[in-house]
Structure 1
Amino acid sequence: MSSAIESQRSATAEICDKRDDWSFHVTRDPLTRFLRDRRLQISLDMLSARNLLNPAQQSALVVCGGVGGEGIFLRRAGFTDVTVTDLSEEALAVCRRLDPNLRTMPLNAENMAGIPDSSYDLVFVQDGLHHLPRPALGFTEMLRVARTAAIVIEPYESLVGRLIGTEWEVQGKAVNYVFRWNHSMLKQMTLSYLLSAESVVLTRRLWDHNLSVGKVARRFPERCRLLAAKCVYAALTPVNSLGNMMVGVVVKPGKTAG
């Protein structure tokens, strides 16, 4: 295991040892859930628009899943077969406590050799690839083990992102470079790996500033907070083409019905 990956694993383990409140991931507070799950819901909407979403019949794998926030969302969205993976055994232990119905698997996202090709219908990652020393390798491994589609939710490479985004993330002793994606990059990696022009690469660019939007929304009475947050993001919609975040859905060849 590379020193960079090991430092990330150690940093996550340290956080899990020191923190005992993970209610953010399981809360039913409408505002918190909207801010937490908004990008994931967009990815499901993109799949649904192509008739590629059937949660009750599909298996889902979450890469770099930490303590299971994405897995919990997918379970609430109707998926019954969800597996959460992460480098950290400590994070996966928290995941199992938060939702015992989630399967867990310790896994290095850059090397999923233990998982056969096309093992899961859908493979998700949210803010995880940019923690890897080799994000492109993590992405191609997602493509390999996905049967229908790989869903990538990551920072977008742009002038705006470079000006106001974080370049280096520091988590305890772990440091990682924030790798940013765009449509062209995602498409080129997909085509070069799958070698099929039938692959479909869909991306949606948007703004994602949940901490700031949450602070604004919480200034309103509780009954108005969710509406306030939705209004802020709705106001940003006309300039989503300049957004700092990307939701990418890569559909594998032969899965383009709809």
Structure 2
Amino acid sequence: MKSGVDLQRAAMAEICSTRDDWSFHVTSDPLTRFLRDRRLRTALRMLRVRGLLDPARQSVLIVCGGVGGEGVFLSRYGFKDITVSDLSEEALAVCRGLEPTLRTMSLNAENMAGIPDSSYDLVLVQDGLHHLPRPVLGFTEMLRVARTAVIVIEPHDGLVGRAIGTEWERHGDVVNYVFRWNRSILNQATRSYLLCKRAIVLPHRMWDHNVVVGKLARRFPERWRLTVAKTVYRVLRPVNRAGNMMVAVVVKPDGDTTRGSGL
């Protein structure tokens, strides 16, 4: 029987072999970029307000990076040292085609044994941990190899997610359980691994229904589409605490590169 990791690798290989248009990752269309990038921009803003964002100097490892959509965004944002990792060699080949300046690495997110502790300033995952058989293990590996902070963008565990969210994703023979995060899980996983009170855990909930919002916005003339999409999310902002998505930043203690210090 194939492991969950093997199944995900096979699924990505199939997607890459059957799809020939990845232009939405590099498009300059304002609506598409807004819908794709708003969660990433929120995460970077959380770092910026704490004085922890320096794109020209910081190295970034993207975990479960697929064909490199997040890498393209970070490159356009100003980051110079970006590594996109994934299990799928087919996905990484697509990534190199989309943005040749990106480094790529074949990597099992649950076992980054080949990467030393504190190797990258920032380690980021977007919609990737919930594909892993052991999502918390993937998260703690991110904590280990990060020097400054970890960014986690994943489905949030709440009433809305349980009521209307997908619990099981099926792609042919591949079955994936959608693991959802919340403040408690994130905080406990961080504290239990780092054994450090001084780590800063910053979970932020928000609404993310980009497919639905995109379909709605495209019913309007092109010049109004971005405004419509921004208005929808602006209306939802007061009830973000009930949102279906978690954008979280975990900041490691300054100078604490050894697990267990700083009690």
Corresponding position of 1:211: 211
Counterpart residue type for residue 91 of structure 1: A
In structure 1, the residue corresponding to 2:160 is in which secondary structure?
helix
Aligned residues: 256
Query: What CA distance in whole angstroms lies between the structure 2 residues aligned with 1:95 and 1:131?
Result: 19
Counterpart secondary structure, 1:179: coil
- One-letter amino acid matched to 1:223: R
Structure 1 residue 220: Cα displacement: 1.2
- DSSP-derived class of the 1:28 partner: coil
Deviations 1:36-60 (A, max 9, x none): 0110010000000100000000000
Q: What residue in structure 2 maps to residue 224 of structure 1?
A: 224
The secondary structure found in structure 2 opposite 1:40 is helix
The aligned counterpart of 1:102 is: 102
Q: Does 1:30 align with 2:23?
A: no
Which 5+ residue runs of structure 2 have no aligned equivalent? Answer: 257-263
Cα deviation digits, residues 149-182 of structure 1 (max 9, x gap): 0000000001111000000011232111000000
Aligned position for 1:68: 68
**Cα separation, 2, equivalents of 1:30 and 1:8:** 31
The residue type paired with residue 142 of structure 1 is M
Q: Is it true that 1:241 corresponds to 2:236 in the alignment?
A: no
Which SS does the other structure have where 2:139 is aligned? helix
* TM-fit CA distance, 1:224: 1.0
| 1:165-207 C-alpha deviation (Å, 9 max, x unpaired) | 0000112321110000001110111011001110000011000
Instruction: Give the match for residue 87 of structure 2.
Output: 87
Take 2:164 and 2:119, find their aligned partners in 1: how far apart are those partners?
A: 38
User: Alpha-carbon deviation of 1:255?
Assistant: 7.1
Q: Give the Cα separation in 2 of the matches to 1:48 and 1:171.
A: 38
- Work out whether 1:48 is the aligned partner of 2:48: yes
Map of 2:182 onto structure 1: 182
Once residues 29 and 255 of structure 2 are traced to their aligned partners in structure 1, the CA distance between those partners, rounded to angstroms, is 36
One-letter amino acid of the counterpart of residue 237, structure 1: R
Cα 1:150–1:2 change in 2 (3 A) is: farther
How high is the sequence identity, in percent, across the aligned residues?
A: 72
Distance 2:200 2:236 in 1: 27
Code of the residue aligned with 1:130 in structure 2: it is H
TM-score of the pair, normalised by structure 1: 0.97
Hey, what's the Cα distance between the residues in 2 that align with 1:190 and 1:54? 24
1:79 partner SS? coil
Q: Tell me the equivalent position of 2:143.
A: 143
Q: Which residue in 1 is equivalent to 2:202?
A: 202
TM-score, normalised to structure 2, is 0.96
Task: Call closer, same or farther: CA 1:42–1:91 in 2, change over 3 Å.
Answer: same
Paired letter, 2:167:
E
CA 1:10 to 1:91, structure 2 compared with 1: closer, same or farther past 3 Å?
same
